[in-house]
Amino acid sequence: MSETFVGGFMSGFLSRGFLGARVGYGLYFTTARLFGVDPGAHGGSELTGAMAGYIDGQLMPTLADDENARLIAELERVKDFDLAKDQIKQIVIKRPGWYGIGFGRIKIVPLAGEPRSIQLRHPIAYDRLIQLTQVFSPELVRTQPFLAF
């Protein structure tokens, strides 16, 4: 099966670490994998221009085959982690509060190993991730309202 880029973004709306202290992270999806990209490690800061935010100004662009292959190779090179769709047990997305009150979260639970948790600092990040995960693998996704624990 060939792998096709679905979409993704890198943003200050995503953060990691204690209380979201490390602001800025990227999540990118293909038809087969989910990539996490840390702009502070593995060359992630090299994802500049169109790739740092959206690809060609779109959350989910349509790419030519050669551009698709180049983009996936670039993600391979700078990834913090990647998980194949069949290695993921569940993706839980919790909505953040409005006006900067309370973080949301995306938690990627693999079949083996520790879950990956990334804070959502703004409802825009939540909305984008809902769109992306619905294309990636809707059966893996669970959502939680802001006040859920």
pLDDT (0 to 100) of residue 62: 84
pLDDT (0 to 100) of residue 2: 83
142: Cβ–Cβ under 8 A, 6 or more apart, which residues? 90, 91, 92, 93
- Domain locations along the chain: 5-144
| Contact in structure between 143 and 130 (CB atoms under 8 Å) | yes
Q: Name the fold adopted by 5-144.
A: PH-domain like (2.30.29)
pLDDT (0 to 100) of residue 19: 65
pLDDT (0 to 100) of residue 99: 63
Tens-digit pLDDT string for the chain (149 aa): 589 999 999 888 899 877 667 888 999 999 999 999 988 765 555 554 444 445 556 778 888 888 889 889 999 999 999 999 999 999 999 999 876 577 899 999 999 999 999 999 889 999 999 999 999 999 999 998 766 55
Cα 58 to Cα 32, 50, 53, 99, distances in angstroms: 20, 9, 9, 25
Per DSSP, which regions of the chain are E strands?
5-16, 22-30, 33-37, 81-84, 88-94, 104-110, 116-120, 141-144
pLDDT (0 to 100) of residue 84: 97
pLDDT (0 to 100) of residue 42: 54
